[in-house]
């Protein structure tokens, strides 16, 4: 594997990570930025254009107190200016009241992505978010501990504060 292939694989993996952070921080423009102009997404409960997907997220994500995507295995197969990436992960979703199983669950998933190289870098042309399993977290969640740093969706989150301080955001 040459350096260009390594750089491409790293850029594709970082695009997957940027997507996860954008969803978790409720950064909808950041979610849209990882897709091509004509990108599509297929999730449980949604299938359509990237623009419609972001609009769909805008109606559902604000009803949750938070989400956390953790990704693990990532395999990327390059084919010139296109690639197939498969990324395994888990995503936790939580909201008050904590006894609502539709708002408090963890799922295991695979992102099966068709990436294309664009002038702006590697972008998702089509994503299949394959849900492998889900479990209710009702009875497992505790309220956040107010004594430590707190997560925020927006400009008050510690990562946003640090990025601004370093001139990255």
Return the domain boundaries, the chain: 3-165
Q: So what's the pLDDT on residue 10?
A: 97
Of the candidates 81, 57, 60, 76, the one whose C-alpha atom is nearest the C-alpha of residue 17 is 76
Q: So what's the pLDDT on residue 23?
A: 97
Rounded CA-CA distance 57/61 in Å is 6
pLDDT string in tens for the chain (169-residue length): 799 999 999 999 999 999 999 999 999 999 999 999 999 999 999 999 999 999 999 999 999 999 999 999 999 999 999 999 999 999 999 999 889 998 999 999 999 999 999 999 999 999 999 999 999 999 887 777 788 888 888 888 888 898 899 998 7
Burial of 146-162, coded b for 16+ CB within 10 Å and e otherwise, reads eeeeeeebeeebeebee
Dihedral of alpha carbons 154, 60, 97, 18, sign: negative
Q: What's the pTM value of the predicted model, to 2 decimals?
A: 0.93
CB neighbour class for 83 (10 Å; exposed up to 12, middle 13-18, buried from 19): buried
Structure tokens at 152: 């925020």
Q: So what's the pLDDT on residue 144?
A: 74
Q: So what's the pLDDT on residue 154?
A: 84
Q: Is domain 3-165 in CATH 3.30.1310.10, yes or no?
A: no
Are 79 and 8 spatial neighbours (Cβ–Cβ below 8 Å)? Answer: no
Q: So what's the pLDDT on residue 149?
A: 85
Q: So what's the pLDDT on residue 142?
A: 79
């Amino acid at each position: 594997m040459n350096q260009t292939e390594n750089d491409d694989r790293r850029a594709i993996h970082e695009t997957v990570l940027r997507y996860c952070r954008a969803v978790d921080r409720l950064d909808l423009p950041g979610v849209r930025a990882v897709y091509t102009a004509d990108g599509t997404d297929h999730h449980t409960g949604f299938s359509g254009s990237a623009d419609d997907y972001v609009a769909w997220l805008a109606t559902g994500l604000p009803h949750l107190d938070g989400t956390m995507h953790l990704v693990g295995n990532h395999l990327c197969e390059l084919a010139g200016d296109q690639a197939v990436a498969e990324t395994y992960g888990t995503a936790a979703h939580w909201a008050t009241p904590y006894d609502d199983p539709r708002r408090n669950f963890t799922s295991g998933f695979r992102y099966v992505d068709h990436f294309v190289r664009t002038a702006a870098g590697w972008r998702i042309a089509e994503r299949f978010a394959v849900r492998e399993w889900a479990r209710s977290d009702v009875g497992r969640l505790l309220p956040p501990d107010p004594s430590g740093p707190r997560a925020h969706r927006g400009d008050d989150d510690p990562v946003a504060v640090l990025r601004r301080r370093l001139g990255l955001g």
